[in-house]
Amino acid sequence: MTAPAITGLGVALPPSTAQDELWDGYFSRHYDGSRRGLARRIFANSGVTTRHAAVSPLIEDVSEWSTERRMRRYQTEIMPLGKAAISRALADAGLAAGDLGLFAVCSCTGYATPGADILLARDMGMSPSVQRLVVGHMGCYAALPGLGAVSDFVAARGRPALLLCAELTSLHLQPPGSRTDVQQIVSHALFSDAAVAVVVTDSPSGYAVREVAAITDTSTADHMTWEISDQGFRMGLSPRVPAVLATHVRGLVEQVLARHGRSIADVDGWAVHPGGPKILDVVQEQLELPAAALAESRSVLAVHGNCSSPTVLLVLDELRRRPVPPRLTVMLAFGPGLTLYITLLEGSTLGA
């Protein structure tokens, strides 16, 4: 039986702004007193040079908005991004929206009913019988369980599926009362907006999805949080996260590869979610990888920032644009739980 495979990928991004411009034009005033110098260092050492924002603080300050107002804006802004990513992924796969049997949406930055899944299915011309799945509040690793779900659908039903990961982190700029919180400074320095869609079919071409696996260390559940407040969603990001990843990442990678008769040395493509520079440093060190192995992950962090769930798919998009795309790819993403997700892909015929 042919394994489900990623046969199309589409990216949509809101306007980009330089990190230095964001600092000089807004965040240098958001922090005052003793925290300003610390915040400046965090921004400078974030590994980010440009970021995307559907709602830029240089134009519109949402930090005092209510959660209701942010959610209404989410519905407005997510639609054009989602449509563009879906259209590009379908064109890349050579399919029409009406061909889809399942449409899944991953997002942790906005909620409403009827949601983006219903409205996008309607506007994109998907069949009234298309099945829909919404994956919410899983955070930065959501693309991988989402990919597992659509792959299982394709394997069971033999029909194409599409996964959309779309996040608007810019809507969750926190108010001045939280500006001295170091975790909020880190969040404000890293996060960005993006939408990425992937089409999965039972085609023998593309990137075959060989396995999706995970490990969750619930003893560290408080290390990464995403809490709904009266003024948007508030990030909690412990500096101990890299140490937890260091404990688990090599064992998880080796176990999955061993089940397929492979080792770390056989992997020629690494799509690692760039949660921040220290995350990438830990993965590189624990897996004993050369610097070049994570070049695409570091490039995505620099050019796009941390876009939450779409980010690891942005790295995959970079990998497929190599002159010689990888044959065996490991995707790694991390998030609340504390959870590590891994996906093993094989093949390199996905067009760019």
Active site members: 140
Do residues 138 and 341 lie in contact, with contact meaning Cβ atoms separated by under 8 Å?
no
Number of C-beta neighbours around residue 315 at 10 A = 27
Do residues 130 and 100 lie in contact, with contact meaning Cβ atoms separated by under 8 Å?
yes
* CB half-sphere exposure, 5, CA atoms < 13 A: 18
Joined tokens for residue 322 = 């190599």
Q: Is 333 helix (H, G, I), strand (E, B) or coil?
A: strand
Sign of the Cα torsion 55, 60, 66, 72 reads negative
* CB half-sphere exposure, 317, CA atoms < 13 A: 22
- Nearest Cα neighbor of 302 from 268, 276, 266, 327 is 276
List % helix, strand, coil for the chain (3-state, nearest 5). Answer: 45, 25, 30
Do residues 89 and 57 lie in contact, with contact meaning Cβ atoms separated by under 8 Å?
no
**Whole-number Å distance between alpha carbons of 253 and 27:** 38
Residue with tokens 């937890």: 244
Alpha helices in 143-291 (DSSP H): 143-157, 182-190, 241-259, 277-287
Do residues 196 and 310 lie in contact, with contact meaning Cβ atoms separated by under 8 Å?
yes
Cα–Cα distances (Å) from 206 to 93, 301, 326, in that order, read 9, 25, 12
Radius of gyration of the chain (CA): 19
